[in-house]
Amino acid sequence: MRAIIGKKIGMTQVFLEQGTIVPVTVIEAGPCCVVQVKTLERDGYEALKLGFIEVQKERRVNKPQRGVFAKAGVKPYKVLREFKIAGKKVGEFVTVDDFKAGDKVKVSGISKGKGFQGVMKRHNYKGGPGSHGSMFNRAPGSIGQSSFPSRVFKNKGLPGHMGCERVTVSNLSVVGVKSEQNLILVEGAVPGPTGNIVEIKAE
Amino acid sequence: MILMNAVEEQYKKEIPVFSIGDTVRVHVKVIEGDKERVQAFEGYVIARKGGGIRETFTVRKISYGVGVERIFPLHSPIIQSIQLVKRGDVRKAKLYYIRYKKGKDTKIKEKAREQR
């Protein structure tokens, strides 16, 4: 398994040789410093803690965190994420070179917040007719039965807050990698707005 | 701007200056089976749309009495070259009205001289 932390730059398009246009998301990924190595003996599982985006002013990091970075002998980082990968030591870097065009990856991030939304947008309910005297336009309709069971079942889709949650999009293919600019081009859309921190994983 | 840099090498280096109303000959690569040849498509440029790598232009020609329009992505690799044939004198940015004109009205006046 390979993994890296990245920042969503935005979407654009690339041409393939035959002139086919592929929509791509540009992600600035890495270089990510290994801040901590979790081992089976010490922590019960194996993982690497990666840091991404160096902190410019050290006073912005709180004192306990500063100690963690100082002990590891690395610079302080804004974003820390743990991945179940192995094979690197503390202070080494994970770069985009681990990925190549044609790889299938999973991209996770916090999706765009949509606020309080109704059932049509939030749960893809069909709603009612828009006109001809219909007064059942975007309402959810019946939400259950009668005196039995006298309650609404759990997980019934109802209006509420939507978005701003962790979303993973799997099976995206890597279109290109630019190691000198630390960029990965991934086909299709990835969660969240421009500037969003995303995690990229490949098997 | 970093977004532009990301697909920098996809941009065409040399694109002739042409605008709406001009007559252009577009040399397009056509793949037939495993052979590749170049086909020309000549007509009026009736629209240019979009910006950056997404920019496209529409070429309209009359082929055997039937109007044919083709939309080309400006930076598409299937376009081998764009040749400017004639400069047109028009006042609009989109010449969609030309679709509904007949006979003499479908002609675009040539620009008298270059104004630079």
pLDDT of residue B115: 61
pLDDT of residue A65: 87
**pTM over the 0.90 mark:** no
pLDDT, one tens digit per residue, over A169-198 is 999 999 989 888 889 999 999 999 999 999
Residue A145 domain flag: no
pLDDT, one tens digit per residue, over B79-107 is 999 999 989 899 999 999 999 988 888 88
Residues in B closer than 8 angstroms to A17, CB to CB, are: 77
Q: Which residues contact A81 (CB under 8 A, 6 or more apart)?
A: A5, A49, A50, A52, A199
Residue A182 domain flag: yes
Query: A118-141 burial, b if ≥16 CB within 10 A, otherwise e?
Result: bbbebeebebeeeeeeeeeeeebe
Min Cα separation A163/chain B (Å): 25
Min Cα separation A126/chain B (Å): 35
Phi, psi of B33 (to 5 degrees): 60, -115
Min Cα separation B65/chain A (Å): 29
pLDDT, one tens digit per residue, over B8-20 is 778 888 888 999 9
pLDDT, one tens digit per residue, over A101-145 is 888 999 999 999 999 999 999 999 999 999 999 999 999 999 999
Residues in A closer than 8 angstroms to B54, CB to CB, are: 12-13
Q: Is A22 within 8 Å of chain B by CB?
A: no
Pick from B1, B3, B72 the residue to mutate for testing the A interface (most A CBs within 10 Å).
B3
pLDDT of residue B116: 55
Residue A142 domain flag: no
What CATH number has the domain bearing residue A81?
A: 2.40.30.10
Task: Tell me if residue B98 falls in helix, strand or coil.
Answer: helix
pLDDT of residue B61: 92
Residue A150 domain flag: no
Min Cα separation B52/chain A (Å): 9
For chain B, which residues lie within 8 Å of any Cβ of chain A, measuring from their own Cβ? 2-7, 10, 29, 31, 52-54, 73, 75-78
pLDDT, one tens digit per residue, over A38-71 is 889 998 999 999 999 888 888 888 888 888 888 8
Cα–Cα distances in angstroms (integers) from residue A144 to residues A67, A137, B7, B107, in the given order: 55, 19, 53, 67
pLDDT of residue B5: 74
Is-contact A196 A7, C-beta < 8 A?
yes
Phi, psi of B9 (to 5 degrees): -70, -10
Residue A141 domain flag: no
Confidence check: pLDDT of B1 > 60? no
C-alpha angle B8-B13-B19 in degrees, rounded to nearest 5: 110
Cβ-Cβ contacts under 8 Å between A and B: the total is 46
Residue A149 domain flag: no
Residues in B closer than 8 angstroms to A15, CB to CB, are: 10, 73, 75-77
Task: Tell me if residue A70 falls in helix, strand or coil.
Answer: helix
pLDDT of residue A149: 93
Residue A148 domain flag: no
Q: Is A14 within 8 Å of chain B by CB?
A: yes
Confidence check: pLDDT of B3 > 60? yes
Residue A38 domain flag: yes
CB contact under 8 Å between B10 and A17, yes or no, is no
CB contact under 8 Å between B6 and A17, yes or no, is no
Nearest-by-Cβ selection for A12 from B7, B73, B78:
B7
Of chain B, the percentage scoring pLDDT greater than 70 comes to 97
Nearest-by-Cβ selection for A15 from B6, B52, B77:
B77
Min Cα separation B61/chain A (Å): 22
Residues in B closer than 8 angstroms to A12, CB to CB, are: 3-4, 6-7, 52-54
Q: Is A135 within 8 Å of chain B by CB?
A: no
| A68/A58 Cα distance (integer angstroms) | 13
Confidence check: pLDDT of A12 > 70? yes
* Total domains present in chain A: 1
Q: How many CB atoms lie within 10 A of CB B54?
A: 13
Q: Domain span at residue A51?
A: 3-130+157-202
Residue-averaged pLDDT of chain A: 91
Min Cα separation B64/chain A (Å): 28
Confidence check: pLDDT of B68 > 90? yes
